[in-house]
Structure 1
Amino acid sequence: FNHSRVPPSLTLSLHNFIFAPVISQLLKSLCHTGCFSLLTQLKWTVSANLCRVQILIQRENGSMEKELEELRRSRPKPQDGGDFTLSDCFYFTRRGIESIVEDEVTQRFSSEELVSWNLLTRTNNNFHYISLKLTLVYGLGVFVRYCILTPLRMLLACIGLTWLVFGTTAVGFLPNSRVKSWLSEWVHVMCFRICARGLSATIRYHNPENKPRKGGICVANHTSPIDIVILCNDGGYAMVGQVHGGLMGIIQRAMVRSCPHVWFERAEMKDRHLVTKRLKDHVNDKTKLPILIFPEGTCINNTSVMMFKKGSFEIGGTIYPVAMKYNPKFGDAFWNSSKYSMVSYLLRMMTSWAIVCDVWYMPAMHQKEEEDAIQFANRVKSAIAHQGGLVDLQWDGGLKRAKVKAAFKEQQQKQYSSMVVGDDSNSNSD
């Protein structure tokens, strides 16, 4: 069994539903062998006698040495160390073609593919045939979503945002005191709950005993701006994020008047030390709300968790991990900021069926003595990915808008050159 050829996702079509449990047990057995890790539950879709199974699989990334050794297995390895064989070209060619066809990074910046159509026009790319009955149901759904639900949702959203702007502005005129902090948290939570109703959000909170406490840092995976609405629907947070323009900018400027949120320009490197100092001062004050941070720094399509920036873990204090998982069957919560503006994105959310999300509060985590900030960030990221059933990736989410750094290419080149040169490099240096 060559697990290096297993795609990142599999779709199995079974014409006899009786064999479905057998396939399930077989896949679980393969997972226990270490070939690859099963990260999400099986998704079954039964239509007539056809059973369709979709399973998300994460392959263990085989090292360059192991894969090249497999290609060279028919040729004995020289005793004097490394060498070059023509078959090495096949490894780099195959990896290049795999990256062009479907790499594991760029597909995280587009909407998640669905197993079956959810009666939304925006997801009707791969489902061309529609029966008469399904067409009638689809037409009824369009009428309900656009003519009944959307006007009500827009009304609720306008009420929530208007009250948020005016409420936080009014609270901002009060002197700093416990009353101001209490009123600020009350206004924030109430407004976000109204906005959540405007999105028809159905949220299930798990393990409420692990909710972030004051003076701590809450870190979560990032899918869209409504992550804030989902989390603040259950409690108040002091937020940290990038300054936006337009509607989001108006909301940010209003919120910071009543609560010490930290907004910054990501492009301004000189502000990083100032931001870190403000965050440390906030954490040291145990009377302030917990800080909400999305260490990925960009929106991912809720199928994986990408690299956490270490800056969030250099502040110190207690880390409260939170895993968030949206159900794409009722509406795609992912925000592709390079394709949709904030207003158009919110309209897409309001014309969906609903926003269904599971939130897991995880036990508090502390940095170990032998850990640095990067290792601690990776440990927290792995815990969030495991809890949410997401793929744990080491890639930087900044690759959405930036090119791959030359250091990554040089690292691969040095690794391969050390294999080719072998021990000769040591003898030549002598």
Structure 2
Amino acid sequence: MELFFSPFDNLVCILLGISFTVWFTLLLVFIIVPAIFGVSFGIRRLYMKTLLKIFEWATLRIERGAKEKNHPLYKPYSNAIIAREPTSLEQEIKEIRRSGSNRDFDSASEFEMSDIFYFARRGVESIMDDEVTKRFSAEELESWNLLTRSNYNFHYISLRLTVLWGLGLLIRYGFLLPLRVTLAFTGVGLLVFLTSVIGLLPNGRMKNFLSEKVHLMCYRICVRALTAIITYHDSENKPKNGGICVANHTSPIDVIILASDGCYAMVGQIHGGLMGVIQRSMVKACPHIWFERSEVKDRHLVAKRLSDHVEDKSKLPILIFPEGTCINNTSVMMFKKGSFEIGATVYPVAIKYDPRFGDAFWNSSKFGMVNYLLRMMSSWAIVCSVWYLPPMSREEGEDAVQFANRVKAAIARQGGLVDLLWDGGLKRGKVKDTFKEEQQKLYSKIIVPLRPVAHK
């Protein structure tokens, strides 16, 4: 029996050896080596254009099939459900009082029962069209991208589209996913190994040079593990040493997206497990800022560590996401003021993902990190645009909150995002009393107008 199966076993081993050799040769030639030198053969962009044509055809086929069967198609709302005019509380109260009373508004500054209608209406509007909660769910698409998770009209698909979807499933899970997992392990493994080796070198220009090259190479390999197609705009505004780079936050891969185009000093909490191993190896080669769990809540300690870092102009710019949580690629929520109190130059960066190829938003309350990464690696691609905005500094008489809001508005405007004043912490917490008190103060100014104090 051994003699009978021996040639067959040898043949299988030879074929497996050839397959692995070809596989890793292709990885090395077409992905890893280009990542080291920061070049691209244009394969990913050709792949993106091909996908767009397929998506357009699939959408037209769905619409045609629905029309033939007289079935209504689901169309997600691209804008708010309720159209609101940009009016102030005082103006709306004034209109309500005028419509329900013959008295002049200016002479009726005391409380009126009709004022209740304003707050009741706004409450109902908030329930029907909650502009906060919907920022923590996946962005809705107008067309289908051949992913079941993004299709609302699955039961209207024709046989040809179903076959095409099945073929796409095989490509994504049979070819792309193994390829991407291999690249991810390669990138992370090289990052841990090479940064640990560089950490043995004495501090100096050579160590900094090698550290930057290794970080860039490994992050670029990780970018290719997501088939990320990134377009960088206005590179002359890229963050410089001694500054703070702030960006809107959609996903944990925001770090990889930015770090593949330039080196940054990361800021974060020390973790255990694999993440802890990566953090400990990275900090050996580059002065990243990691905090113990007990130190994170100490605002003064955090501010001092950040200040000490930016004062040293030889150190890399700090990368911070002031929202503190992931938002679903449609909006920018309140920036925490901590990073704007330091007084360093701020380099705003706007990141906008194209959801047609894959949803980059991480809903941490629904998916764990491993589940999320598998969803990313089983998507078609990650396509995004990055805009480097001109550096901004705190103006005279401007406090940290005002400065943060000005930077946030610039990022939202450039990225085509909705600028919201709400705190991203509402994802897991309740509305702060300060927001309620602000509305109460606005209303109190209407019913109890301020009068100048008469001087004797």
The TM-score range, normalised by the shorter chain, is 0.7 to 0.9
Matched pairs, number = 384
Q: 2:432 aligns with which of 402, 405, 422?
A: 405
Q: Residue 94 of structure 2 contacts residue 105 of structure 2 at CA under 8 Å; is this kept in 1?
A: no
1:168 and 2:221 are equivalent in the alignment: no
Asked if 1:68 is matched to 2:97, the reply is no
- Aligned partner (choices 312, 316, 327) of residue 339 of structure 2: 312
Residues in 2 aligned to 1:371 and 1:123: alpha-carbon distance in whole angstroms: 44
Q: 1:114 maps to what in 2? A: 141
- Percentage identity across paired residues of the two chains: 66
| Alignment partner of 1:251 out of 278, 297, 311 | 278
Residue matched to 1:180: 207
TM-score, with length taken from structure 1: 0.82
Contact map agreement 1:195 1:229 (CA 8 A) in 2? yes
Q: How does 1:40-119 map to 2 (within 5 A)?
A: 47=63, 56=79, 61-74=86-99, 75=101, 76-77=103-104, 80-119=107-146
2:266 aligned counterpart, secondary structure: strand
How far the C-alpha of 1:411 sits from its partner, in A, is 2.8
Structure 1 residues 240 and 120: alpha-carbon distance in aligned structure 2, compared to 1, 3 A threshold: same
Alpha-carbon distance in 2 for matches of 1:365, 1:59 = 32
Q: Which residue of 2 aligns with 1:31?
A: none
Listed as ranges, the gaps of 5+ residues in structure 1 are 1-43
1:264-279 → structure 2 map (5 Å cutoff): 264=291, 268=295, 271-279=298-306
What is aligned with 2:383? 356
TM-score, L = length of structure 2:
0.78
Structure 1: distance between partners of 2:85 and 2:291: 37
Q: For residue 161 of structure 1, report the CA deviation from its aligned partner.
A: 0.8
Residue 265 of structure 1, CA deviation: 5.3
Q: Aligned partners of 2:84 and 2:294: how far apart in 1? A: 35
Shift of 1:387: 0.6
Shift of 1:89: 2.3
Question: In 1, distance between residues paired with 2:296 and 2:98?
Answer: 50
* Gap runs ≥5 in structure 2: 1-55, 68-72
Q: Of Structure 1 and Structure 2, which has the larger fraction of its residues in helix? A: 2
Q: Is the 8 A contact 1:81 1:422 kept in 2?
A: no
CA distance in 1, matches of 2:296, 2:362: 26
Q: Contact 1:117/1:127 (CA < 8 Å) preserved in 2?
A: no
Read off the aligned partner of 2:235 and give its amino acid letter: P
1:11 corresponds to which residue?
none
Equivalent in the alignment of 2:446 = 419
**In structure 1, which of residues 230, 237, 241 is the aligned counterpart of residue 264 of structure 2?**
237
Distance 1:272 1:289, change over 3 A: same
After the TM superposition, which of the residue ranges 111-120 and 143-152 deviates more from structure 2?
111-120
Cα offsets for 1:207-264 (capped at 9, x unmatched) = 1111111121111111111001101111111111244454433322322222111123
| Higher deviation after alignment, 211-220 or 191-200 | 211-220
More strand by share: 1
Once residues 245 and 419 of structure 2 are traced to their aligned partners in structure 1, the CA distance between those partners, rounded to angstroms, is 19
Query: Whose Rg is larger?
Result: 2
For 1:267 and 1:115, how far apart are their aligned partners in 2? Answer: 45
Q: Which moved more, 1:102-111 or 1:320-329?
A: 102-111
Q: Alignment partner of 1:189: what SS? A: helix
Deviation at 1:97, TM superposition (A): 1.6
- Equivalent positions of 1:364-383 (< 5 A) are 364-383=391-410
Once superposed, what is the RMSD of the aligned Cα atoms? 2.7
